[in-house]
Amino acid sequence: MRFYWSPRFRYLRFKRRYRRSFRGKHGYHPPTRLAYDLFVPFRVRHEAPTFRWARRLEEPLYHRRGSLTVAINLLAILHPGRDVKLLGIDLSDPRYFYDDEITPGNRETLVHDSYFRGIEAGRHVNALPSPKYPDTLLDSVASARSQLRRDGVELWCCNPRSLLVEKGVCEFRPVLAG
């Protein structure tokens, strides 16, 4: 799922130049766009000073110490009243889920400056306090869990080795358990 994109027409001349070049060299013609009747754009705001929770898609969803908070909030809006199970969330490992794609050539683009702080600490950088915000992703998920509980929804983690389970933020629940 893609949350972020450049504003429309931001680099239009570069896109057109690239497209012309690609068509000329490879004979590429982009497919026609599908009509998505149910496509609804939503806004995502970065790092608010305090945790925020959106109740409708018209309100901005807050990216708080990781895209996980956006995903949980989006699920709560799109599927209200359903319990949420987190699959594969670890946070005790400093690597990103796309670590295999990081090379010295694209490191500046794909890796945040604090990545190496996470490697030194032996945890994912979002599980550590940042210089800008003292809370961690664990705190944000705990806040999201309390918001979900107010609505009668439970947040479970299906990875028993997850830092969320070890720190008591979420309870462990196997994937196939009810």
CA 122 from centre of chain: 21
* Biggest alpha carbon–alpha carbon distance for the chain: 57
Whether residue 7 lies inside any domain: the answer is: no
Whether residue 127 lies inside any domain: the answer is: yes
- pTM flag (> 0.95): no
Distance in angstroms (rounded) separating the CA atoms of residues 137 and 164? 9
Per-residue pLDDT of the chain (178 residues; tens, 9 = 90+): 444 455 555 566 777 777 777 777 777 776 666 666 667 778 888 766 677 889 998 888 888 777 888 899 999 998 999 999 998 778 887 777 777 777 877 777 767 667 777 778 888 877 888 777 788 888 889 999 999 999 899 999 998 988 999 999 999 999 887 6
Whether residue 13 lies inside any domain: the answer is: no
Domain that holds residue 118: 80-172
Whether residue 154 lies inside any domain: the answer is: yes
SS3 of the chain: helix, strand, coil, percent, to 5: 35, 10, 55
Whether residue 143 lies inside any domain: the answer is: yes
Whether residue 18 lies inside any domain: the answer is: no
Please give the sequence-ordered ranges of beta strands (E in DSSP) within the chain, or none if there are none. Answer: 44-46, 61-63, 84-86, 155-157, 171-172
Whether residue 65 lies inside any domain: the answer is: no
